[in-house]
Structure 1
Amino acid sequence: MDTYIKTLIEKLCDMYRYRIIELKDIPGLSSSWGVVKEEGDRAEVVFFSSLNTMRDLEINSFVGYLRNALRCEDIRPVQVLIDGDLKTYTDEQGGLHLNHEIYPQCGLILINNVDNKILYYSLGLEDKANELANCINHMRHIENQRGKTEKAIITYILIAVNLVIYGLTAYLSGNIVDSNTRVLIFLGAKVNELINAGEYYRLVSCMFLHGGAVHVGVNMYSLYALGPFVEGIYGKLKFTIIYFFAGIVSSFFSYKFSADISVGASGAIFGLLGAALVFAMKMKDRVRKDFIRNILSVIVVNLVIGFSIPNVDNFGHLGGLVGGMISSFVLFKKDQQF
């Protein structure tokens, strides 16, 4: 609770130019800190309570304390009651009620800090409630971004492995910009003749090799941009399965339909695009149509670019897309949390 209130106070100060005020030894408060905004001869003070503390508040004494502390006679106190036990329910007549009896002594705003919802605000406090709602949304956005970072651990491990292997490739090649073809073959590039000879591991190892700095840079940026989203939807295990299955199908397509030596993570990344498309199609009742169109446009543009540039393994890209769609179609459950 203390951390929640502290963060809320910081957001009110940053976003709406409140200043922090210390409230020492005041019965009925759940925090010894509040915020104040002074306009002319009037001071608006926002302070925080909980279900357990609010009954101890004596509003007249508190207002007197604020007058002395702020040297201002016109005080507008706004009590923000924050508690995870606060809920609303609808009765048989359709009326909305709180699950606790609340007896406001001044302007009151109720917040459920578990659901991050404003449940009630007194008449005339709509602007104040909107300010708090915007602060809460900002806090939630930051928390979601932090959660995505935590969820994307597999993505970042894959990026790290690719970069380490590229570092090894550059060292053995004696060139950080371009990879030596012999070094790539030695490290496990897709070479049809060697696969025919039984070196099937090359269908996997080629996914972690790259032909140069631009090649690895583009692929790792694409993985960084797309990976956290797909990993957040499917979870770590399913994401790993999708990535490797798409990569292997990509290598197999390249093996069957192209005689050229091939390396790169782009097939697996196309698989992640396929997984994003499957998600969009299965959740079309919840996502905007623009989202589906955007995914399709990214896939089409990348395929067109691939077919327009020489030495691009387009069969590998198509195979990765197919592998990603098949595996994600099997693994995705519509009722999973995302």
Structure 2
Amino acid sequence: MAHPSITCPQCGRATDARYSSCLWCGAALPPSGGRVIEVMRSDRGGDLVINGIIVANVVYYLLSLLISSRTALGGGIFGFLSPDDNSLALLGATGTYPVFRYGLWTLISANYLHGGALHILFNMMALRQIGPWVCAEFGASRMFVIYTVSGIAGYLLSVLAGVTFTIGASAAVCGLIGALFYFGKSRGGNYGQAVSREVSGWLISLVVFGLVMPGINNWGHGGGIVGGIITAKLLGYRERRRDKSLHHLAALFCLLVTVVVLAFGVWKGMQILSYRQS
């Protein structure tokens, strides 16, 4: 998770408020009872992007429940409020079968579909924690590009690996983790090392969780992480490269493609509902 920050009185940069000295310049910090803000909330554009992603995921999940012919209320804690596979396939679940039958658009739509209440809850909680930190270091535009490209990369690798049916925002979220890992290694210094240590812990937890829990798309996670690292390297981060028009245009392109894909899925879902009511 991202931690609260405080502005260093010496260098003026945001640094981790848990430490007694600035991770950038080493200057002593005032007590944390002063003006403490979260790094991830320093960018209003970042909040708008993250909240928009969360809303899109929730709306798409609710639509999958509405058009589902069978909504699982039982099936264990992870199966609570699960839409059926037919509704997920219609809305854009991906994998070897959906990609070859419905098209490559499912590589995007699958990032906004979830298989149950806890599935979407965990993914959105992770996004809410990690996304603002990525926005703080890369900017809102680059964050959304990383999120979109990483999700596509994760599911593309899944298809190449032979995963037949998969959904969830975890591939894109893993891309944000990959971006932070790249940032920490590239940034270096005390702050970069602190970021690398924390993100390395997340990566280890992902590997262990994927090995222990059944049904986890490890190919999607791995592809998302690699996609996030590569995209972050290509785009750069704020300290080394300022926000440019190209970053904003790339984000706008990703947004337009995502909106078109999700609108297409909603249109298909509405057709199903109209057919059942007629």
**Which among 262, 273, 283 is matched to residue 177 of structure 2?**
273
CA contact (8 A) 2:40 2:134 kept: no
Q: One-letter code of the match for 2:34?
A: H
| Structure 2 residue ranges without an equivalent (≥5) | 1-8, 14-29, 72-79, 244-278
Q: How does 1:34-183 map to 2 (within 5 A)?
A: 138-139=34-35, 141-142=36-37, 146-148=41-43, 151-173=46-68, 175=71, 177-183=81-87
**Which among 175, 187, 191 is matched to residue 283 of structure 1?**
187
Q: What is the CA deviation profile of residues 30-82 of structure 1, one whole-angstrom value per residue up to 9, with x for unaligned ones?
A: xxxxxxxxxxxxxxxxxxxxxxxxxxxxxxxxxxxxxxxxxxxxxxxxxxxxx
- Rounded to whole Å, the distance in 2 between the matches of 1:313 and 1:271 is 14
- 2:158 aligns with 254
Q: What is the CA deviation profile of residues 267-315 of structure 1, one whole-angstrom value per residue up to 9, with x for unaligned ones?
A: 0000000000011011112515343122111111112211221111110
- 1:328 aligns with 232
- 1:203 aligns with 107
- 2:251 aligns with none
- 2:21 aligns with none
Q: Which has the larger radius of gyration?
A: 1
- Rounded to whole Å, the distance in 2 between the matches of 1:279 and 1:290 is 11
CA contact (8 A) 1:278 1:325 kept: yes
- 1:240 aligns with 144
Q: What is the CA deviation profile of residues 177-206 of structure 1, one whole-angstrom value per residue up to 9, with x for unaligned ones?
A: 112111100111014233224611011111
Tell me by how many angstroms 1:144 deviates.
5.8
- 1:29 aligns with none
Structure 1 stretches of at least 4 aligned residues deviating more than 4 Å after TM superposition: 143-146
Q: One-letter code of the match for 2:56?
A: V
Choose between structure 1 and 2: higher strand proportion: 1
Aligned residues: 207
Task: Quote the sequence identity (%).
Answer: 27
- 1:68 aligns with none
CA contact (8 A) 1:190 1:251 kept: yes
Q: TM-score, normalised by structure 2?
A: 0.68
CA contact (8 A) 2:184 2:194 kept: no
Q: 1:146 to 1:224 in 2, by over 3 A?
A: closer
Choose between structure 1 and 2: higher helix proportion: 2
Query: What is the root-mean-square deviation of aligned Cα atoms in Å?
Result: 2.6
CA contact (8 A) 1:233 1:337 kept: no
